[in-house]
Amino acid sequence: MMFVREIIILVLFYISTFFSMTAIYWSLDIAELAGVILMLVCVYYAVRKTLPPEGINKSRFPKTE
Domain boundaries, the chain: 2-50
- The pLDDT value recorded for residue 26 is 94
- In one-letter notation, the amino acid at residue 29 is D
Q: What's the CA gap between 40 and 12, in Å, rounded?
A: 21
Q: What's the CA gap between 46 and 36, in Å, rounded?
A: 15
Q: What's the CA gap between 47 and 49, in Å, rounded?
A: 5
Cβ atoms of residues 27 and 12 within 8 Å: yes
- The pLDDT value recorded for residue 50 is 80
pLDDT in tens, 15-61: 999 999 999 999 999 998 998 999 999 999 888 888 766 666 666 66
Quote the pTM value: 0.66
